[in-house]
Protein backbone atom coordinates (compact mmCIF):
# COMPACT_ATOMS: atom_id res chain seq x y z
CA UNK A 1 0.00 0.00 0.00
CA UNK A 2 1.07 3.57 -0.70
CA UNK A 3 -0.58 6.67 0.75
CA UNK A 4 -0.05 9.95 -1.12
CA UNK A 5 -0.54 13.59 -0.10
CA UNK A 6 0.01 16.44 -2.58
CA UNK A 7 0.87 20.03 -1.69
CA UNK A 8 2.13 23.20 -3.33
CA UNK A 9 -0.78 24.17 -5.51
CA UNK A 10 -2.11 27.71 -5.76
CA UNK A 11 -2.74 30.70 -7.96
CA UNK A 12 0.02 31.84 -10.30
CA UNK A 13 0.23 34.30 -13.18
CA UNK A 14 0.90 33.12 -16.72
CA UNK A 15 4.61 32.58 -17.21
CA UNK A 16 5.12 31.85 -13.53
CA UNK A 17 6.32 28.73 -11.74
CA UNK A 18 5.11 26.35 -9.07
CA UNK A 19 6.55 23.24 -7.49
CA UNK A 20 4.22 20.52 -6.38
CA UNK A 21 5.24 17.94 -3.81
CA UNK A 22 3.82 14.51 -3.13
CA UNK A 23 4.64 12.93 0.21
CA UNK A 24 4.29 9.16 0.27
CA UNK A 25 4.05 6.61 3.00
CA UNK A 26 4.02 2.88 2.66
CA UNK A 27 6.46 0.13 2.00
CA UNK A 28 6.46 0.19 -1.79
CA UNK A 29 7.21 3.84 -2.59
CA UNK A 30 10.88 3.40 -3.46
CA UNK A 31 10.09 0.64 -5.95
CA UNK A 32 7.04 2.32 -7.51
CA UNK A 33 6.69 4.26 -10.72
CA UNK A 34 5.36 7.68 -9.72
CA UNK A 35 3.14 9.75 -11.94
CA UNK A 36 1.46 13.13 -12.09
CA UNK A 37 -1.94 13.54 -13.70
CA UNK A 38 -4.29 16.50 -13.98
CA UNK A 39 -7.99 17.06 -14.46
CA UNK A 40 -9.55 20.28 -15.66
CA UNK A 41 -13.27 21.02 -15.17
CA UNK A 42 -15.36 19.03 -17.61
CA UNK A 43 -12.39 17.05 -18.90
CA UNK A 44 -10.97 13.61 -18.30
CA UNK A 45 -7.98 13.09 -16.07
CA UNK A 46 -4.87 13.16 -18.24
CA UNK A 47 -1.27 12.06 -17.94
CA UNK A 48 1.29 14.78 -17.21
CA UNK A 49 4.47 12.86 -16.48
CA UNK A 50 6.03 9.88 -14.74
CA UNK A 51 9.33 8.84 -13.21
CA UNK A 52 10.63 5.33 -12.64
CA UNK A 53 11.80 4.01 -9.29
CA UNK A 54 15.46 4.89 -9.82
CA UNK A 55 14.73 8.36 -11.25
CA UNK A 56 16.80 7.45 -14.31
CA UNK A 57 13.82 7.52 -16.65
CA UNK A 58 11.07 10.09 -17.08
CA UNK A 59 8.20 10.55 -19.52
CA UNK A 60 6.10 13.63 -20.21
CA UNK A 61 2.98 14.57 -22.09
CA UNK A 62 3.77 16.60 -25.20
CA UNK A 63 1.84 19.54 -23.76
CA UNK A 64 4.30 19.96 -20.87
CA UNK A 65 7.61 18.82 -22.36
CA UNK A 66 10.33 21.39 -21.81
CA UNK A 67 8.29 23.20 -19.14
CA UNK A 68 7.64 20.59 -16.43
CA UNK A 69 10.19 18.41 -14.63
CA UNK A 70 9.54 15.42 -12.39
CA UNK A 71 12.01 14.36 -9.73
CA UNK A 72 11.97 12.13 -6.68
CA UNK A 73 13.85 11.70 -3.43
CA UNK A 74 13.44 8.12 -2.23
CA UNK A 75 15.16 8.92 1.06
CA UNK A 76 12.41 11.46 1.78
CA UNK A 77 9.61 9.43 0.17
CA UNK A 78 8.73 12.45 -1.93
CA UNK A 79 8.15 13.13 -5.61
CA UNK A 80 8.11 16.62 -7.11
CA UNK A 81 6.67 18.34 -10.14
CA UNK A 82 8.45 21.56 -11.08
CA UNK A 83 6.23 23.60 -13.40
CA UNK A 84 7.69 26.52 -15.31
CA UNK A 85 6.29 28.85 -17.98
CA UNK A 86 2.79 28.10 -16.80
CA UNK A 87 -0.14 28.76 -19.13
CA UNK A 88 -3.84 29.24 -18.40
CA UNK A 89 -4.50 25.85 -19.99
CA UNK A 90 -2.41 24.24 -17.24
CA UNK A 91 -5.18 25.11 -14.79
CA UNK A 92 -6.42 21.87 -13.23
CA UNK A 93 -6.41 19.70 -10.14
CA UNK A 94 -3.10 17.87 -10.10
CA UNK A 95 -2.89 14.34 -8.75
CA UNK A 96 0.06 12.25 -7.68
CA UNK A 97 -0.19 8.52 -8.29
CA UNK A 98 1.82 5.35 -7.79
CA UNK A 99 2.07 2.24 -9.92
CA UNK A 100 3.79 -1.09 -9.35
CA UNK A 101 4.38 -1.64 -13.07
CA UNK A 102 7.83 -0.32 -14.07
CA UNK A 103 7.93 2.52 -16.55
CA UNK A 104 4.22 2.76 -17.13
CA UNK A 105 2.36 5.90 -18.19
CA UNK A 106 -1.06 4.24 -18.44
CA UNK A 107 -3.59 5.74 -16.06
CA UNK A 108 -5.22 2.41 -15.23
CA UNK A 109 -1.88 1.01 -14.03
CA UNK A 110 -1.77 3.57 -11.23
CA UNK A 111 -3.55 2.01 -8.30
CA UNK A 112 -2.79 4.57 -5.62
CA UNK A 113 -3.85 8.22 -5.81
CA UNK A 114 -3.60 11.35 -3.72
CA UNK A 115 -6.46 13.74 -3.07
CA UNK A 116 -5.22 16.35 -5.56
CA UNK A 117 -4.07 19.95 -5.34
CA UNK A 118 -5.53 22.86 -7.31
CA UNK A 119 -3.34 24.83 -9.70
CA UNK A 120 -4.84 27.97 -11.21
CA UNK A 121 -2.97 29.99 -13.83
CA UNK A 122 -4.59 33.37 -14.30
CA UNK A 123 -3.75 37.06 -14.43
What does the pLDDT look like over 94-115, one tens digit per residue? 999 999 998 899 999 999 999 9
94-109 burial, b for 16+ CB within 10 Å, e for fewer?
A: bbbbbbeeeebbebeb
Name the pLDDT band for 47 (thresholds 50, 70, 90): very high
| 39: pLDDT strictly greater than 80 | yes
Name the pLDDT band for 85 (thresholds 50, 70, 90): very high
| 27: pLDDT strictly greater than 90 | no
Amino acid sequence: QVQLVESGGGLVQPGGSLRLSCAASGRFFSSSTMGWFRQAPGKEREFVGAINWSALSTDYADSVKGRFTISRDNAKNTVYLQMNSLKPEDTAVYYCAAARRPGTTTKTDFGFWGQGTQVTVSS
